Chain A
């Protein structure tokens, strides 16, 4: 916990993130190139044919959507319980990225569903709970914008984020708890042909590094904007 608070100081965060950013950015670009190369080099699946290629962008997007929400929930917990000074900024900065990954998961899933299931959409447990995640992201961002007092907005948004976290295990286990059109766990159950793991994990690494890069830049932007606001207020006083 002490480690977290050491880097909670905006000055320390700016210094550390400034040093790490070039590596995550270059790493994301390299992993993306390698991931795309591997994705288009694998043989077609014996059942799904070439549509297996969508798997390499759909599952990383869906994983990032849920991972980002978990990060927001953890930041919210840090904010509510330990008053961690940077956690609200970090949670708020992650939300639009999480919403983007959720939308990408839904769109790529629909484009995979049509040729495999014969439909873009069904109201089954996995798809509906994932759509709910997108609405939770929208609600979270709207709440931040709706309340003018930043401290009150942070508190309300943190409570919403923690309440909404209940949806994450529902998404994860929906395919086990209910009968769904969506296939069950493939990656964690090791049900996939071995040849598909390298492109999948490379694309997951690329998405993760890109998220880390954009998240750090967004937090840095928020810190700089706050500094500018303080300067403006100081000048006006």
Chain B
């Protein structure tokens, strides 16, 4: 593997960082929303949410 991106590192590393950040946030956001929805349904089904 070669991580020497010179002389274009100022363009390549931001492109990879932004992509990693966006995909990471989308994944965390999606999983968090799923967990919230599941917990809410479980609360309602157990009768505590009424």
* Chain B residues with a Cβ closer than 8 Å to the other chain, count: 32
Contact yes or no, A57 B41, CB < 8 A: no
- Interchain Cβ contacts within 8 Å, total number: 91
* Residues on the A chain within 8 Å of B11, using CB: 51, 54, 111-112, 114-115
Majority DSSP secondary structure for residues of B touching A: helix
Task: Determine if A232 is an interface residue (Cβ-Cβ < 8 Å).
Answer: yes
Smallest CB-CB separation from A108: which chain B residue? B15
Contact yes or no, B18 A108, CB < 8 A: yes
Contact yes or no, B34 A107, CB < 8 A: no
* Chain B, 27-42, CB within 8 A of any chain A CB: 27, 30-31, 33-34, 37-38, 40-41
Contact yes or no, A232 B19, CB < 8 A: no
* Residues on the B chain within 8 Å of A57, using CB: 15-16, 19
Task: Determine if A92 is an interface residue (Cβ-Cβ < 8 Å).
Answer: no
Task: Determine if A235 is an interface residue (Cβ-Cβ < 8 Å).
Answer: yes
Contact yes or no, A53 B12, CB < 8 A: yes
Task: Determine if A61 is an interface residue (Cβ-Cβ < 8 Å).
Answer: yes
Contact yes or no, A37 B15, CB < 8 A: no
Contact yes or no, B34 A220, CB < 8 A: yes
Task: Determine if A221 is an interface residue (Cβ-Cβ < 8 Å).
Answer: yes
Evaluate whether A100 and B26 lie within 8 angstroms (CB atoms) in the complex, with A51-B11, A54-B11 already known: yes
Contact yes or no, B8 A50, CB < 8 A: yes
Contact yes or no, A214 B26, CB < 8 A: yes
Contact yes or no, B1 A50, CB < 8 A: no
Against B, the Cβ 8 Å flags (1 = close, 0 = not) of A155-180 are: 00000000000000000000000000
Within 8 Å by CB of B15, from A41, A58, A221, lies A58
Q: List 28 A-B contacts (CB under 8 A).
A: A41-B1, A50-B5, A50-B8, A50-B9, A51-B8, A51-B12, A53-B12, A58-B15, A100-B23, A103-B22, A107-B15, A111-B12, A111-B15, A115-B8, A115-B11, A217-B30, A217-B34, A224-B37, A224-B38, A225-B37, A225-B40, A228-B44, A231-B41, A232-B49, A232-B50, A235-B44, A235-B49, A235-B50
Given contacts A49-B8, A53-B12, 18 further A-B contacts (CB under 8 A): A41-B2, A50-B8, A50-B12, A51-B8, A51-B12, A57-B19, A58-B15, A61-B19, A96-B26, A97-B26, A103-B22, A108-B19, A115-B8, A210-B27, A214-B26, A221-B30, A225-B41, A228-B40
Give the interface of A toward B (CB within 8 A): 37, 40-41, 49-51, 53-54, 57-58, 61, 96-97, 100, 103-104, 107-108, 111-112, 114-115, 210, 214, 217-218, 220-221, 224-225, 227-228, 231-232, 235
